[in-house]
Amino acid sequence: MKGKRISKKDRQVQLVEKLKNDPFLTDEELMQMFGVSIQTIRLDRLELGIPELRERIKSVAESNYSKVRTIGGREIVGELIDIKLGESGISVLQTDESMAFEKTKHIRGHNIFAQAESLAIAVIDEDTAITAVANTKYYIPVKAGEKLVAKAEVVRHRGDRHFVHVFIYSGQEQVFRGKFILMPLN
Amino acid sequence: MKGKRISKKDRQVQLVEKLKNDPFLTDEELMQMFGVSIQTIRLDRLELGIPELRERIKSVAESNYSKVRTIGGREIVGELIDIKLGESGISVLQTDESMAFEKTKHIRGHNIFAQAESLAIAVIDEDTAITAVANTKYYIPVKAGEKLVAKAEVVRHRGDRHFVHVFIYSGQEQVFRGKFILMPLN
């Protein structure tokens, strides 16, 4: 029924369900879904023992790092929030001023490259992997503070070469794409 | 006369001359040129008040940084040893283990990318520059400890786009090439 608020109990049941389907919903997104204030969402999380988004990302990332073969988890630039070895992966990078040019406060290209390249390497199902080719496009300049979500997909293999595409988004906008060819070290 | 050593005085005159033509000759290279021991070269430099290579590179780099318009000198990855604004530039990057993958000790692609990209940006004769496209090839894996020499050349302009090619060498071997398209920020 339009306009009618659901009970606190029902809301909390639904909130748990929604976060089970998408653990990376922000408090702002949940607030809009339920038509309540952000304080209400925070109290709900507190009562239900659900940590804030940043902690949820970290905890998911920890369990993903153990699946990666090519590099150490800490060597991945950003938090690894999803990984299907040999197939695909997703990472989240919270940008800040240390990654930006002093003059323009725009994130330096090599930091975005680092998120993309390390994710491309992480998804490869090999003991080692090194970049042979990287063709990259930067569509929209990224400002310090933006949260970047990178999605990598292994698109094909030829001999010992792995072809990986990485797309990076800030909110709904695509800011970068990289086409990588990776090889194991012999 | 073959086999006959030149006098110390003549050698020191020639050494000054050679370093004037190429300030980045190593003590090892000078040693071979004059057929003397490395200690002799070091003593010659000491007597002539010529600092060691690392210091010579730093001092040349300092004076080059003031010519760069797009970014701060410290933002260039490596030492900027030559710059012709709007035309070309050369930088030297001493790699170390902090830039390498833990498992393989090979330099991570994004660090090589960072040397190339920051040099490409530095040579542009604009107030600001940001990477729009970067097509890169990594020919030979670089090991921690190798010294990388990057050479950038502005190859053409189209509208407000600057096309810059960067080649990176380790010793005589080309390890990387990047083709960059850069634009000023509007």
pLDDT in tens, chain B (186 residues): 445 678 999 999 999 999 888 878 889 999 999 999 999 999 999 999 999 888 888 888 888 998 999 998 889 999 999 999 999 999 999 999 999 998 889 999 999 999 999 999 999 999 999 999 999 999 999 999 999 999 999 999 999 999 999 999 998 899 999 999 999 987
Q: Which residues of A touch B136 (CB under 8 A)?
A: 133-136
A185 near B CB under 8 A: yes
How many other C-beta atoms lie within 10 A of the C-beta of residue B88?
17
CB atoms within 10 A of CB A169: 15
Give the pLDDT confidence score for residue A131 in this predicted structure: 95
Position A122 confidence tier, pLDDT thresholds 50, 70, 90: very high
pLDDT of the residue at A60: 82
Taking the C-alpha atoms of residue A184 and residue A124, their distance in angstroms, rounded to an integer, is: 9
User: What is the model's pLDDT at position A58?
Assistant: 83
State whether residue A16 sits within 8 Å of chain B by CB.
no
Chain B positions in Cβ-Cβ contact with residue A128 (cut-off 8 Å) = 103-104
The answer to whether the beta carbons of residues A44 and A11 sit under 8 Å apart is: yes
From A30's Cα to the closest Cα of chain B, the distance in A is: 35
Banded pLDDT at A143 (limits 50, 70, 90): very high
Q: CA–CA separation, A90 vs A120, rounded Å?
A: 10
Interatomic CA distance for residues B125 and B157, integer angstroms: 11
Q: What is the pLDDT of residue B168?
A: 97
Report the residue of chain A nearest B139, measured CA to CA: A132
Structural domains for chain B? 8-50 (1.10.10.10), 58-183 (3.10.129.10)
Distances (CA, A) of A18 to A11, A34, A40, B131: 10, 11, 16, 39
> What six digits make up the tokens of B40?
């002799």
Residues of A in contact with B111 (CB under 8 A): 110
Contact B72 A134 (CB under 8 A): no
At A150-166, the pLDDT tens digits run 999 999 999 999 999 99
Phi–psi pair at A48, nearest 5 degrees: -90, -5
Q: Any CB–CB contact under 8 A between B141 and chain A?
A: yes
Cβ-based contacts of A124 with chain B (< 8 Å): none
CB contact under 8 A, B102 and A133: no
Q: Does B98 touch chain A (CB under 8 A)?
A: no
Strand B88-94 relative to strand B79-84, pairing: antiparallel
Mean pLDDT of all residues in A64-73: 89
Average pLDDT over chain A reads 92
Q: Which residues from A are below 8 Å from B118, CB to CB? A: 108, 110
Q: Is the ipTM of this complex over 0.85?
A: no
Q: How many CB pairs under 8 A join A and B?
A: 97
pLDDT at A1: 41
